[in-house]
Amino acid sequence: MDRRIVVTRTVPELALEILRAAGEVVVCGQDRPLTADELKEAVRGAHGVVAMLHDRVDGSVAEAAGPQLEVVANVAVGYDNIDVEALARHRVVVTNTPGVLVDATADLALGLLLAVTRRLGEGERLLRAREPWTFHLGFMLGTGLQGKTLGIIGLGQIGQAVARRARAFGMRIAYTGRRRADAAVEAELDARFLGQDELLRDSDMVSVHCPLTEQTRHLIDERALRLMKPTAVLVNTSRGPVVDEKALASALREGRIGGAALDVFEHEPDVDPGLLELDNVALAPHLGSATIETRTAMAELAARNVAAVLGGKPPVTPVTG
């Protein structure tokens, strides 16, 4: 029997070639996310689904697909959009794409940190507006990274990659998380493990790299922001709802922290209007994994997961819960 594989949004051709070898591929070619009803309609009769991070895949989607559904491959490392427990009850395997986007996301995190601390976006806006300017020693002064403490929330693969890059800039590393990192990792990065409150108080810059769960939703809220230094910078390249955007906009507007750099947003693709009005904010439209090499590798890994499961083999990168 030919297997039906539904891809909810266009993916690179290399990934499609892998999928075509595993079954009949149907690509939803729209240039926007599917609505909930459209997603349920699209997956009817599917044996495998390649989903994007904006697709909410829960038990009702599995029921709409039918009992033949075997695998949902999420083209993202995070899987907060997937109800893993509900799909497990339907005997559906869930996979993600860890590892392949580590370097691209870490690069962007450092790029955003530099953008806000060196006022790069502000400077470009000034030039594009054709505002008059002249060089002098007090013009658009930013903040250097050397000797500053970078506090990392979540020292997983991406957090470690960010720390290595920050060390190259002469930064000191502190981190917090659910558990302490291996001694070898701490030694390599010369990283100090702190409680979250202490990390927020001590850090000059804070970079968020934790998954979105019920425990981490609004992890950075008004209380957390009040703990930070008035000169501190917050960087978020994890998931938008980890940060309370309205609280962040207020803290920035009132000068309670020095700046922020965001690649992800609480109600993506919408951005809190208060953030758009501020010069001490650097913003990017979810570009953490946006290199040709990385996005292709993500799609290929998702495709290999689907092909493995439909071929009766274990998935390459399963989500276990």
Dihedral Cα 48, 52, 54, 56, nearest 10 deg: 20
Extended beta strands in the chain, E state: 4-7, 24-27, 48-51, 71-74, 93-95, 149-153, 172-176, 191-193, 205-208, 233-236, 259-262, 281-283
Q: Which one, of 257, 214, 265, 220, lies nearest residue 239 by Cα?
A: 265
Over the Cα atoms of the chain, what is R_g? 21
Q: Is 200 helix (H, G, I), strand (E, B) or coil?
A: helix
Residue 304 bears catalytic tag: no
- Rounded distance, CA 58 to CA 64, Å? 10
Q: Which two tokens stand for residue 280?
A: 């001490």
Are residues 295 and 71 in contact, defined by beta-carbon separation less than 8 angstroms?
Answer: no
Among the listed residues 47, 165, 209, 239, the single catalytic one is: 239
Category of 174 on φ-ψ map: left (φ > 0), alpha (ψ -120 to 50) or beta = beta
Q: Which one, of 148, 143, 177, lies nearest residue 160 by Cα?
A: 177
Residue 239 bears catalytic tag: yes
Residues annotated as catalytic are 239, 268, 286
